[in-house]
Amino acid sequence: MDIIVRNESQLAASLKRYRKKADLTQTELGRAAQLRQATISELEAGKGATLETLFTVLAVLNLELVVRPRRAVDDAALADLF
């Protein structure tokens, strides 16, 4: 299932979800990515990640980034989300 991410907090939550799905702790993911656990924590909090860090973590989690045009969302569809 594809997850659409439109902001930092959604990206952070998605990375955390996939890390847990892979049954990894932040420390284990950090080791696999050659990053500190604190860096993984910051990334999952949506704070201070570089693109290099993001792509390293995506690779370790076997994920990829897809960039595409945003779909227009009408007010009724947006209301259904809440």
Give the predicted TM-score (pTM) of the model: 0.81
Here the tokens at position 4 are 């659409």
Q: 14 lies in which domain range?
A: 8-63
pLDDT of residue 10: 94
- The count of structural domains within the chain is 1
pLDDT of residue 48: 80
Residue 72 lies in a domain: no
Residue 44 lies in a domain: yes
CATH code at 23?
1.10.260.40
Residue 32 has a CB neighbour count (10 Å cut-off) of: 16
Confidence at 74, pLDDT banded by 50, 70, 90: low
pLDDT of residue 49: 86
**Each residue's pLDDT tens digit, 10-67:** 999 999 999 999 999 999 999 999 999 999 999 999 998 899 999 999 999 999 999 9
Residue 73 lies in a domain: no
Residue 82 lies in a domain: no
